[in-house]
Amino acid sequence: MNAEIQNLRAPAELRHADELARLAEADNAPRPAGWQLSPRAVRRFILGDPKLGVARKFYGDDPLVDRAIVSLMSRQGLMLVGEPGTAKSMLSELLGAAISGTSALVVQGSAGTNEDHIRYGWNYALLLAEGPTERALVPSPVLNAMRSGRIVRFEEITRCPPEVQDALISILSEKSLALPELGADRVEAARPGFNIIATANLRDRGVHEMSSALKRRFNFETVHPIDDPAFEKELVLRQLAERLEPEAVAVKGAEDVAELLVRTFQDLRSGRTAEGASLNRPDAVMSTAEAVNVLHAAALEAAYLDDGKLGGGHVARQIQGVVLKDSPDDGKKLRAYVDHIVKERAARSGLWKEFYTAARALKLG
Ligand SMILES: Nc1ncnc2c1ncn2[C@@H]1O[C@H](COP(=O)(O)OP(=O)(O)O)[C@@H](O)[C@H]1O
Ligand SMILES: [Mg+2]
């Protein structure tokens, strides 16, 4: 394994370099101009292909992936919206890596994002020394992507002020960017393969503040939390294995505990239990990403502070930090879930009994 892959978070094109190479080798389907892989191969990269030894990476909505790929071939940009932790960023990274060979062209949206981050800025020392020259111009990731015919990602676009977002309108509609400082008629035209994937969290300021002119330039796709418990379990177990790989310890019992954990998350997320009872949903984001964090922490506790056997108690203790983030009411909702639903299951299963006992001992408001 090379050093970069060992970094805590290497980009997707490095982490999956072997898979991408195998897909490219086997790829003889038609490819849009500027694309590194055919749309079919891009889909295989994201949804998996056992024959080529390519793992599934995105779970739960295969047609969404197809539509996303089609959007990126079209003249429209792609806007992925949804709750936090639904893999919007992951999906945009995978699409960038597969289509353009890089997921590194990124604009991170924030209150401090300005037009220079979307268009171009200047190296002020050079600007003073030689005026507005090509050398003094500092291209944004968007301009870089236009010049190289690649995908640029725009993370959390709704966190930037709408008037800043609007700098994208002409880029998306004309597929070109004027550079008036370099000459009155100097226009940079995007090479084929250029497009934008933006992501937006529904819990942030919200997409309603995006101008309708900009909205029209994007195809919107809503990414939902995984609703199939079997899928979610498979995913959390796979990610747990990945996270534990560098650890020098072994953990037993993860299968059953993952089932309990996913059940709990799905119940609380949907406000409806597997048995059909309704309950009060916590305001906290009960995303798959949080479920992975809980299972990972529970496994670390079991491995390093216990005997290595994961149990319901480890989950109960770790779930508290996820659910009780900022709303005291959420603690009461979790308490009610424990007192009614978990208690009933505890009568029938040892694992749920452990969960119940440990959860009762928590201070849940
Ligand atoms: N449907 C899904 N398929 C695969 N992984 C998922 C899914 N939903 C959530 N995840 C996990 O959650 C993690 C966090 O997702 P992220 O892309 O940061 O979410 P978002 O950008 O929507 O907030 C992903 O890296 C992945 O591990
Ligand atoms: Mg994100």
Residue 86 is predicted with a pLDDT of: 93
Ligand 1 pocket test, pick from 45, 265, 286, 288 with the greatest ligand atom count within 8 Å of Cβ, gives 288
Range 113-135 burial, b when 16+ CB lie within 10 A, else e: bebebbbbbeeeeebeeeeeeee
- Residue of minimum CA distance from atom 16 in ligand 1: 87
> What's the mean pLDDT when you consider all of the chain?
92
Atom number of ligand 1 nearest to Cα 83: 22
Domain boundaries, the chain: 3-222, 229-360
Q: Do 226 and 232 form a contact (C-beta atoms < 8 A)?
A: yes
Q: Tell me the two tokens of residue 131.
A: 């005026």
pLDDT band at 2 (very low <50, low <70, confident <90, very high): very low
Q: Tell me the two tokens of residue 331.
A: 């603690």
Residue 5 is predicted with a pLDDT of: 46
Distance in angstroms (rounded) separating the CA atoms of residues 97 and 105: 10
Percentage of the chain lying above the pLDDT 70 cut:
96
- CA 187 to ligand 2 centroid distance, Å: 32
Q: Do 296 and 240 form a contact (C-beta atoms < 8 A)?
A: yes
Picking from 48, 92, 87, the residue whose alpha carbon sits closest to that of residue 232 is: 87
What topology does CATH give the domain 3-222? Rossmann fold (3.40.50)
pLDDT digits (tens, 9 = 90+) for 147-179: 999 999 999 999 998 888 889 999 999 999 999
Ordered alpha helix ranges (H), 55-107: 62-73, 88-100
Record the pTM: 0.89
Collect all residues with Cβ–Cβ distance below 8 Å to 93 and sequence separation of at least 6. Answer: 11, 12, 103, 153
Kind and range of the H or E run holding 24: helix 17-26
Decide if pLDDT at 7 tops 60. no
Least distant ligand from the CA of 108 = 2
Residue 206 is predicted with a pLDDT of: 60
- Residue of minimum CA distance from atom 27 in ligand 1: 289
Ordered alpha helix ranges (H), 104-194: 115-118, 124-130, 141-148, 162-165, 167-174
Decide if pLDDT at 205 tops 80. no
98 lines ligand 1 (CB under 6 A): no
Atom number of ligand 1 nearest to Cα 155: 21
Q: In Å, how far are 44, 88, 110, 162 from 205, measured between CA atoms?
A: 34, 17, 11, 11
pLDDT digits (tens, 9 = 90+) for 26-79: 999 999 999 999 999 999 999 999 999 999 999 989 999 999 999 999 999 999
Residue 234 is predicted with a pLDDT of: 93
pLDDT digits (tens, 9 = 90+) for 296-330: 999 999 999 999 999 999 999 999 887 777 778 89
Q: Do 268 and 279 form a contact (C-beta atoms < 8 A)?
A: yes
Ligand 1 pocket test, pick from 64, 78, 83, 90 with the greatest ligand atom count within 8 Å of Cβ, gives 90
